[in-house]
Amino acid sequence: MRVAVDAGRCDGFGYCEQQAPEVFRLDDDGVVVVLLADVPAEFADRAEAATRACPVAALKVDP
């Protein structure tokens, strides 16, 4: 599974980081960075959940 971010939409809430800190992190400007675009299977459930926990729908998933 791959995840992608639309940084232009990101509003810096950080729900994704709370849900899957191995995969998403907010940078110093409070904008999300994807740490593991190719998500290892062990984090897949939580990373996928994180994409649905974005208040502004800034995260996408490719199966």
Partner 1 sequence: VSEPLGTVNEPASRAVVVGGSLAGVTAVDALRCRGFDGHITLIGDEPYGAYSRPPLSKGVLAGLEPADSVMLPPPPAGVDVRVRTRAAGLDLQRRVVRLADGEEVPYDRLVIATGARARTLGGPAPATVLRDLDDALALRDRLRDATDVLILGGGFLGMEIASTAVRLGLSVTVVDLRLPLVGVLGPWLAGIFTHAARRAGVRIVVSPGGARPLEAGTVELRDGTRLSADVVVTAVGDRPNVEWLAGSGLALRGGVVVDARCRVSPEIVAAGDVAAFPDGGRLRRMPHWDAAMAQAKAAADALLLGEAAAAYRPEPYYWTDAFGLAVKIAGPLPVEGPPTSVEGSLEQGSALLRWDRDPQATAVAVNYHLSVAKLRRLTARAATA
Taking the complex as a whole, the smallest distance from the CB of residue 5 to partner 1 amounts, in Å, to 12
Task: Compare residues 12 and 40 and give the one whose CB is closer to partner 1.
Answer: 12
**Cβ density class 28-60: b for 16+ within 10 Å, e for less:** eeeebebeeeebeeebbebbbebbebbeeebbe
Residues that bind partner 1 (CB under 8 A): 9, 11-15, 17-18, 26, 29-31, 45-46, 48-49, 51-57, 59-61, 63
Task: Tell me the backbone φ, ψ of residue 22, rounded to 5 degrees.
Answer: -70, -20
Taking the complex as a whole, the smallest distance from the CB of residue 47 to partner 1 amounts, in Å, to 10
